[in-house]
A and B are shown apart, each in its own frame.
Chain A
Amino acid sequence: MKIQARAALILALIIFAGCGTGFRKEPRSFYFPLSGEPNYLNYVPYTSSYEASVIGYLYQSMQQIDYNRGSKLLPGLATNVTLSADKRTYTCYMRRDVTWEDGKPVTAHDVVFTCRMILDPKSGAQNKIAGFKDLAGFKALNDYTFRITFKVPDVTAKYTVAGLTPIPRHIWQGKDMRDKTLNRKPVGNGPFRLQEWKTGRHIILAANPRYRQQPKFYFNRIVYKLIPESAAQQAALRKGLLDAVVNMRAHSWLRMKERYGKGNKFRFFNYSTTAYSQIAWQGNGSNPFFHDYRVRQAMTHALNRPEIIRTLRKGLAVPISGPFYPTSWAYDRSVQPLAFDQQRAAQLLDAAGWKLNSSGLRTDSNGRPFSFEMMLPQGSTTGREIAVILKNALTRLGIRMEIRTLEWSVFNKRLNERDFTACIFSWNSTVDPDVYDLWHSSMRKTGLNLVGYNNPRVDRLLEQAKQAFDRNRRQRISHQIHREIHRDQPYTFLYAAKQLDVFAGRIKGVEPSPRGPFDAWPGLAGWTTAAGE
């Protein structure tokens, strides 16, 4: 017994000693969680959002985008980008004083090399080639001038050009883009460089002494801690290990706000982003229900969306009526969401030929019952609750709905193969409101038009929008698209959930943007810590 007691005492002392080494944040370091290990710190093969957040500080793109000022383009590697009269050719005039970490100059040849690598399927740059769909060619006119030409004028191409982020040709030429050794010691040109990478623990970036461009950063170190579980990230924030946790769930954000909202220990942000949620109705004729727009309208009328926003999202969401995110200039605010109206839903269903039979079920003229399956991705708790609410509402209308939850990869596969009757999910759209891939009839087989939407008027409008270089004209066309799609209800647009972030009280100057706080311009460069900390 004595020995055990002594052992316990020693253990207690050891633990006490372990706690005694208290952690203090450094004033010029920013501490942020990563939910997964980056695979490639290289602009070409990276795929995940946590890789993007690190890469953004290691490399510079041609131009910077200010999402809070109407996606205005600001100088980056290129001081100036010009567009030809036929609106197909972009010429980028690059700075001559930017160097890679090893001192070699950043040139147009690096950009050419990077574009070639993106187009090579071996590189695994699949998430970047969408912007190169109508590419005609590109070349370096001289060491500091890069020219890229597209086959057709496209108003969104300027963002593809602005986002071009070269990697150093002299390092990567002839190498596999997924080379594990080179990707562990990236050579960049951004405001920070990789200082330390401990697998599974942390990634530390330090200020790059060769970076002399704007914007200047207050922080000289970014510490990324690998914390996969969101509950653990919040615990670490509360314990004082982190400076921010972004994209929290509504209930945890509210609980934290309730507790700390009054003090200055934490700052709370909630704001609209580019993401929105919807129920997609498969209207390609593979089922007898949803090819009729009256049936889809009935579905929207049957669902009490204001109640869903109030209870499930705790009011932290904005109702939407069409295919753009609500703060976009493309979104037509004059279009009100269809009202919650069970009677109207019943009338529409009657008109569409789905009549109540003697046993209280809706059938068509052949006696086929209205009974379908709602598909959900696993882990979407709100989606599940919405499905239950809809199921109850539809039961009252004489419609049977089964809910089926699928593992994410299976859900994704069935979505891509258009193998569903109805499903609930969210889009995270681009800031530029180009919805061609979602709604043009040519995108029904391979694009993102998952519900077989086919409206010749919308097709024509989408084609016009792509070539409308005048913002006002493009806005008018977008509003027309909004109204057409609202009438057809290919989706029941649910809401745009707000992004919920918490920052440590010491961080000052944070400004959110539709792409989150880090992509707001100047983002991290505009933040400081409270003096004296």
Chain B
Amino acid sequence: MGQYLLRRLLVILPTLLGISLVTFIIIHLAPGDPVSLQYGGALSQKHAVTRKHIDRLKQLYHLDEPVLQQYGRWLGRLIRLDFGNSMIDNKPVTEKIFERLPLTLGLNLVSFLLIFAVSIPLGTKAALRRGGWFDRASGTAVFLLYSLPVPWIALMMLIYLGVEWDLLPIVGIMSDHYETLGFTGKLADLTAHAVMPVFCLTYTGLAFVTKLTRISVLETAGQEFIRAARARGLSERSINYRHALKNALIPVITLFGSLLPALISGSVIVERIFSLPGIGQLFFESILYRDYPTIMGLSFFSAVLTLLGILVADLLYAVVDPRISYSGGRA
């Protein structure tokens, strides 16, 4: 197991190198560069300036060098765990990311818990009553939700729940007077602000996990060990929840692989509509302004988490499924 882990970790390094190189080249090949954008951005007549000045600024950022040389420079700094400073506001990229991480992480965590808390019971129940009205109704419901566009739902909630009926706050994650509140007041304030964004992050995710659980329970229910359990005279309840569900959840673990990177990838639409300063907006703005260091920092960060997520999912398989083992004995 230890050897396996070491081997996997060693593979991660070249993979990361490859991912970062490809990302670096792609974003530098994309038309437009941060310096020219700062100049002509507003297309205001005041912005008439000489090319010489632009060139000097490009030199300053080493944008005049070949892409591979710039990549080498980036890599050199990365070894010292330095992602550089943003070209927009000169803040260290890591500071920019960590400043926005708690919000995105918090909202996504709540939304993931909700998705699993709703979808797994729903999928299981649907599978146990396959073809019945509950199965059909829940299937239709989750697909209906899945097909509702997030920008539209978010705007409708903003206008009706926020403005017309004046039920929920609409700007940000906390009120202006948040700091003056007591503990329960703070909790209430955060919850009220989080209701709409969390709903928008959650409702489209229900279909996938529900359907995955349903299929997987159905598959397990047809297997021989379930028939054996039934032959032993176990109660239906015990068969369904102790034996079938436990095995049926193995494929759901695959989702954990994508969980880690998804936790930090904010939704641009939800964050913009509800004025939430999260990772999604940061990524969006950094691409808009071609802020290379920030784009690289964020992509690298999510690449690391993706690879770690895959590794964790693989390890979890071994934990829940005794047929899978990573010990040296097997090829």
Contact = CB atoms under 8 A, between A and B. Distances in A.
A409 B191 contact: no
A263 interface: no
Contacts of B43: 412, 415, 425-428
A179 B90 CA distance: 7
A18 B169 contact: yes
Given A121-B57, A231-B155, A409 B162 contact: no
Interface stretch (B45-53, B236-244, B292-300): B45-53
Contact of B170 (A236, A443, A448): A236
B77 interface: no
B125 interface: no
Given A239-B162, A446-B51, A415 B281 contact: no
B277 A201 contact: yes
A200 interface: yes
B190 to A, nearest CB: 8
Interface stretch (B13-21, B68-76, B268-276): B268-276
Interface string A405-432: 0011110111110000000011111100
Nearest to A21: B175
Contacts of A426: 43
B163 A437 contact: no
Nearest to B31: A410
Interface centre among B49, B51, B167 (most CB of A within 10 A): B49
Contacts of A49: 42
A85 interface: no
A316 B40 CA distance: 27
B290 interface: yes
B9 interface: no
Contacts of B290: 409
Interface in A192-208: 199-202
B185 A17 contact: yes
B54 interface: yes
Interface stretch (A98-106, A125-133, A467-475): A125-133
A81 to B, nearest CB: 20
B162 to A, nearest CB: 6
A18 B277 contact: no
B163 A235 contact: yes
B261 interface: no
Contacts of A133: 50
Interface string B91-104: 10000000110010
A19 B53 contact: no
A416 B36 contact: yes
B311 interface: no
B199 interface: no
12 contacts: A18-B192, A39-B90, A40-B89, A121-B57, A124-B38, A126-B53, A180-B90, A228-B281, A229-B272, A410-B32, A428-B44, A446-B51
A223 to B, nearest CB: 8
B88 interface: yes
B211 interface: no
A192 to B, nearest CB: 18
B188 A15 contact: yes
Nearest to B166: A239
Contact of B273 (A199, A229, A407, A413): A229
A447 interface: yes
Interface size of B as a range = 35 or more
A407 B274 CA distance: 24
Nearest to A202: B176
Interface size class of A (residues with CB under 8 A): 35 or more
A205 B169 CA distance: 23
Contact of A14 (B53, B99, B192): B192
Nearest to B86: A39
Interface in A1-26: 11, 14-15, 17-19, 21, 23
Nearest to A179: B90
A298 interface: no
Given A127-B46, A130-B46, A21 B189 contact: yes
Interface string B142-179: 00000000000001001100110011111110111100
Given A409-B288, A409-B290, A121 B175 contact: no
Contacts of A47: 38, 41
A212 B140 CA distance: 68
A238 interface: yes
B230 interface: no
Contacts of A407: 32
7 interchain residue pairs of minimum CB distance: A200-B277, A18-B192, A409-B32, A39-B89, A178-B90, A17-B188, A121-B56
B169 A129 contact: no
B275 A227 contact: yes
B234 interface: no
A228 B45 contact: no
Contacts of B49: 126-127, 129-130
Nearest to A47: B38
A201 B189 CA distance: 15
